[in-house]
Structure 1
């Protein structure tokens, strides 16, 4: 039976969990996830887990933070004066916002702390610094 290898277009069903078992994403009930193995479309550890799987195989892959979304970076946590926020925005801890970079690209950020005159923003990916566990089923190799 053929095995998935670099350059193959594949489809997988997956469930992503934190180490404590909390599910953060799943393809169950949706179309399978399609991507090209080794093309950099997926986090490094997920890509490596699928490489070598056969059609119909299922596996559990434990992916350390370094091979997932990386470690949380302190330089991506910064203060924004409340005067720089839209006047109708009432920031709350955990709130998701979009920040526009100078090149026009929008980046998702999270409100980490609200103080009297400023808001602390965290631009790290929500899963940065976390080890992940994926249950993966290879459903198609094209």
Structure 2
């Protein structure tokens, strides 16, 4: 009997994520090396999750429903089902003096934690630093190639 993935199932999948035509993440070591995004300290292996638990972005979880072991497909996920739309309210200008005690000099492009929240410095002037608290993939269309490696059906009640 073929087990089609449904909500509640535990699945393991390999994936390749492309944004703007460029591979930016993958669970497959060879693909990471080919695309020059390989990190030796990372474990490249299928990711496991329970479908419908909200462990991954909504569009990814929806994409695996109805797939079966060994199946591969490519899906394009809109921002609304990915990391959301960009929100201009999450761009904030703060006084540069707030960085006086920091152990670094703020520079454009730098990723920092501001009160424990990740932010990207997008502008630095003599008096201010502008921070963007949007997720780096907010507003982006995500192209995932997904291959199902394993399915453990949800426990029957």
CA deviation vs aligned residue, 1:42-61 (integer Å, no higher than 9, x gap): 11110110111100000001
- Confirm whether residue 97 of structure 1 aligns to residue 112 of structure 2: yes
> For residue 23 of structure 1, what is the aligned residue in structure 2?
23
Partner of 1:10: 11
Cα distance in structure 2, aligned partners of 1:107 and 1:137: 33
Misfit runs of 4+, over 2 Å:
none
RMSD: 1.0
Q: What's the CA shift for 1:89?
A: 1.8
Measure, in 2, the Cα distance between the counterparts of 1:90 and 1:127. Answer: 25
Match of 1:43 among 57, 81, 86: 57
Structure 2 match to 1:103? none
Q: Which runs of 5+ in 2 are unaligned?
A: 30-43, 153-157
The TM-score with structure 2 as length reference comes to 0.83
1:129 aligned partner = 139
SS in 2 for 1:53: coil
Aligned length: 136
1:77-107 deviations in Å (ceiling 9; x for gaps)? 001211111343211211110122xxxxx22
1:56 to 44, 65, 70: 70
TM-score between the two structures when normalised by the length of structure 1: 0.92
